[in-house]
């Protein structure tokens, strides 16, 4: 078990500004049409079964951190959350007794060079290597599309090997809403390792990520519907 409270507490999760008094829940995001219930259920089921997710978008303020935070209750019981410390991260938690990648979720507030408390430099590679070892990776990042996001990591200065990007698992793209308000999830992609590097495949409305069954999706959808009726 990770014993340091600095690792188990959110670290600049909302960026340089103040944290919201009451962050939006997944049911609130469904109600405001920031995400449709089918996509929400897909992501809920994926996080519940240790799949990784990165939420991307071009401009700031779309709600990337809000969406990822709203999905955290989906994590499997017993999952140890580890909030990475941006550019200061040493990954010393990997040496602590009881550390188990299979039950650990690493959370990065943002993959970005903009501020020192965001994850950048060698720490991005270390996170992906932890994903290779079995950790669940949850992050946000800038990118107007998935290819731009991938290129920002495989190009200079990071030059991360393309096959490691598959450890991001799923990528959800947020774009500005139709009336210019906060963002909406416009698509979901799955990243898979190939001999040539990484395959980037968009999931259609009826597609499920690899290893997520229709039964698991249905259970997640039922959970969200129940949350919608409780508020």
User: So where are the chain's domains?
Assistant: 24-87+101-230
Q: CA 151, CA 192: separation in Å to the nearest integer?
A: 15
- Per-residue pLDDT at 181: 65
Q: What is the pLDDT of residues 143-174, one digit of tens each?
A: 999 999 999 999 999 999 999 999 999 999 99
What pLDDT score was predicted for residue 142? 93
Q: How far apart are CA 33 and CA 40, in angstroms?
A: 11
**In the β-sheet with 53-57, what is the strand arrangement from edge to edge?**
80-83, 104-111, 136-142, 53-57, 170-175, 184-194, 197-203
Q: Which residues pair with 173 in a beta bridge?
A: 56, 187
pLDDT band at residue 2 using 50, 70 and 90 as cut-offs: low
User: Does 179 have pLDDT greater than 80?
Assistant: no
Residues in contact with 121: Cβ distance below 8 Å, sequence separation at least 6, in sequence order: 87, 113, 158
Domain 24-87+101-230 sits in CATH at: 3.40.50.300
Average pLDDT over residues 24-40: 96
Of the candidates 146, 197, 143, 153, the one whose C-alpha atom is nearest the C-alpha of residue 171 is 146
Residues 119-134: tens digit of each pLDDT: 999 999 999 999 999 9
**pLDDT (tens digit, 9 = 90+) per residue, 187-225?**
999 999 999 999 999 999 999 999 999 999 999 999 999
Degrees to nearest 5, angle at CA 151 with 101 and 121: 55
pLDDT at 21: 86
Which residue has better confidence, 197 or 6? 197
Mean pLDDT along residues 90-99: 91
- Please tell me the chain's helix, strand, coil percentages from 3-state DSSP, rounded to the nearest 5: 40, 20, 40
In percent, the amount of the chain with pLDDT more than 90 equals 81
d(CA 78, CA 171): 24
- Distance, in Å, from the CA atom of 200 to the CA atom of 79, rounded to the nearest integer, reads 27
| Beta bridge partners of residue 108, listed in sequence order | 139
């Amino acid at each position: 078990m990770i014993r340091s409270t600095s690792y188990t507490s959110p670290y600049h999760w909302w960026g340089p500004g103040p944290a919201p008094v009451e962050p939006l829940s997944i049911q609130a995001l469904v109600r405001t049409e920031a995400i449709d219930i089918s996509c929400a259920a897909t992501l809920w089921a994926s996080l519940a079964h240790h799949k990784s997710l990165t939420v991307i978008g071009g401009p700031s303020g779309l709600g990337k951190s809000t969406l990822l935070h709203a999905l955290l209750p989906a994590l499997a019981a017993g999952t140890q959350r580890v909030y990475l410390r941006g550019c200061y991260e040493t990954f010393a938690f990997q040496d602590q007794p009881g550390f188990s990648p299979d039950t650990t979720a690493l959370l990065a507030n943002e993959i970005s060079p903009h501020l020192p408390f965001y994850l950048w430099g060698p720490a991005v590679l270390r996170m992906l290597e932890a994903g290779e070892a079995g950790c669940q990776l949850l992050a946000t990042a800038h990118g107007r599309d998935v290819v731009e996001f991938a290129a920002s990591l495989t190009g200079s200065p990071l030059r991360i090997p393309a096959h490691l990007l598959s450890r991001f698992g799923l990528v959800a793209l947020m774009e500005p809403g139709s009336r210019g308000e906060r963002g909406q999830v416009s698509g979901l992609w799955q990243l898979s390792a190939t001999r040539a590097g990484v395959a980037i495949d968009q999931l259609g409305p009826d597609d499920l990520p690899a290893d997520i069954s229709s039964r698991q999706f249905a259970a997640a959808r039922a959970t969200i519907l129940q949350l919608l009726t409780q508020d």
